[in-house]
Structure 1
Amino acid sequence: MELKRVVVTGLGALTPIGKTVPEYWEGLMNGVSGAAPITRFDTEKFKTKFACEVKNFVAEDYLEKKEARKIDPFVQYALVSTEEAVKDAGLDFETLNTNRIGVIWGSGIGGLKTFLDEIMIFAKGDGTPRLNPFFIPKMIIDIAPGHISMKYGLRGPNFSCVSACASSTNALIDAFTYIRLGKADIIVSGGSEAILNEAGIGGFNAMHALSTRNDDPQTASRPFDKDRDGFVAGEGAGTIILESLEHAKARGAKIYAEIVGGGMSADANHITAPHPEGLGARLVMQSALDDAGLTTADIDYINVHGTSTPLGDISETKAIGTLFGDDAYRLNISSTKSMTGHLLGAAGAVESIACILAIKNGIVPPTINHFTDDPALDSKLNFTFNKAQKRDIRAALSNTFGFGGHNASVIFKKFEE
């Protein structure tokens, strides 16, 4: 069976540094930090008092008030980024076979705010379960692709991927696979996350996973810096329209890039810590290269997982050095989490958009907030510190690794006939 080629024809982004794709890209190019004091709740008693919120987001600016009240913020974000992507791709669903258009979505946690709100209401009551009838439908992760499909009448494959911070990369890989096997013509894919509430911040604080640099939140996300002290939580969504090449050409669609491979692996090591030598990270990148039919010499840019945690950054760079060998030194490497914070289950989609635009525009987003070299890292690697760098990018690889040892990598390539 001949596999179909799959291309990117539309993008949508709702991020802490921009509420549209152009704004997001401008933020990346200018090295803007999205970190600021949390406005969603009183942080007085919390160890971490800052995060990367989507700024000035009012759901009613995008959705009908009645509709917005019935859905959790993570679904609101999904709908907003998807609307931008659908328009960007020029999709006219009245003229397309919607039976062959699907939605595959990723989220690591889903409707955490809804869960927190309802449990708090119950806890304050007399034990009578007076719960909102929308409690369960608002909370469950698969409701995001459900709402997207209902909005546009899309009846193709429809489900969610849950693999912690690798969720939306797994969603993209599944979407890519379904299209190249001929099971769909178009799939709306991506991820969303909205955990900036008492449960989300308190929970990650309890794990000692978050930065506590409360005196300087804008520089708190500092991947590969010697003084990094944990990740900065973020929120938002990213949507990527994937389409078979023949279908895209038939309707005259613009093409951003081609998706050519995806890899998956497990660390099989620890519930939250990465393998110390980056074994799972090396395996997943090799798997993606094998799937794409590429070698390490073909990759010009890696958007790394790079969360700004003491252990994670070391293990990932070890994996790159081991797998790429001498090719590692001609790569550009960067962590856009230094600007957006960590969007958890949405990270893969949002960072894949960064890769796609890097290929399209010939420029690598920076890793900001670098002040002090870490002697535990290979200083000869080009981490694209503090300033974007122009470069012709033939292919870019995006890494995402999740709690539980879930690893997923995806490769995008400059489109050529």
Structure 2
Amino acid sequence: MKYIKMLFLIFIGIILSFIICSANPLSIEQAVEISIKQNPKIIQASHQLKASYEKISQAKSSYYPQVDITESINMTTNPMWAFGTKLNQENIQGTDFDPAKLNDPETSKNINSTLSVALPIFDSGQTLHNVRQAKLGEKISSLLIEKTKQQVIADTIIAYENLLLAYENLSALKSAIITSNAHLKIVNSRFKNGLSVKSDLLRANVRICSLDQLFLQTESQIEILKSVLNSSMGIPIDTSFELTSRLELKKTINESLEKLSEIGLSNRAELKQIEYQIKIAKEEFSKAKALHLPYVNLFGNYEINTKDLSGSANNYNIGAMMTINLFTGNRISSKEREAKELFNEIEVKKKELTQGILVEIKQAYLSAQSAYKRVCAAKNSIKEAEEALRIVKNRYEEGISNIVDLLDAESTLHKVQTDNLATIHDYNVAFVKLFLACGSINETFK
């Protein structure tokens, strides 16, 4: 039964290999390139940037005349409005001055067409400050794309590394299953020859069952990780591909922690964004203070009035208006204080963000250093575990060692192999997170 299971697993492995080979090849660089073009988060950030352009146009619109046309129709028996309507229609008759008609007029109908123009000459600097704030907002949106792109690149690389590790673990399990089945043959032969007890055979079978379960779990994990990588690239989650990059150490870190911290504080998009937020807060404070200044507007109206479209009368009205605020119940002063508090809040937020970035860089740096040391320490462990297994196997065949020693040696070799793969993976992930924390990861990152 165990041999049938082994053959079945090998058959499944061959089928999977065939499927993988028939899929599209995908290197880690290609995965990053695809994610930059198709990841929804980057596309969302691009739309947000385009929206910020429109906010600039909206702010600038206050520099230009505002032109409106209005069409209305109304009927009234209000004495004042009824008489005024006839005046606007240039339709006053002598009989209209009859006190009885003035006090109780008939229904008066009017169709009005009005073209109005308003031109702000000076709006206490509100438009100027709004335009400046909109331009700063556009720069923040531009930095959001940079920040999002870096995060997507890091997520894609990490997803690729996770999938590579799962494939390597699957390969290690295949080797472990083959080794365990070879040892099972030895145990079975010794049992048939009366050189070992049945419990040895049962232990060997349990070991293979355990590896079979791990194999199936790893296969399931691979499918999940493929979906995660596809999602990061912005493609259908069931897309098949063949990974062409290998699980190997990225270049070593040559920069000191101090240098990396300096790079991070210089490059991080979040810090640049908060600098622009501080400028926006300053503009908001200046805008609030400017509300004490006067408003000066030019305006003009041209209107046509008619009762039934058979005849019409027209008139115009042009003028200038200046408004100076004398008292608003402390509304303007309150806006100044509010803007000042918001400015102070952002200043504190900047300090908090700076500290957070430094902690993030230090954590990623130490994680990478620790993983690299573990990689170096694990290099010789595999050879030693292989040699130990060979010795124990020979001793078991000679009847010197027992089944527990053999299975322990098997487990140790498999653990050392997977631990070595995990340390390489952990270093690569820490390496990516470190340069993400420094704000220096981009599409050319390797």
TM over 0.5: no
Bigger CA radius of gyration? 2
User: As a proportion of its length, which structure holds more strand?
Assistant: 1
TM-score range, shorter chain: under 0.3
User: As a proportion of its length, which structure holds more helix?
Assistant: 2
TM-score computed with the length of structure 2 as normaliser? 0.19
TM-score computed with the length of structure 1 as normaliser? 0.20
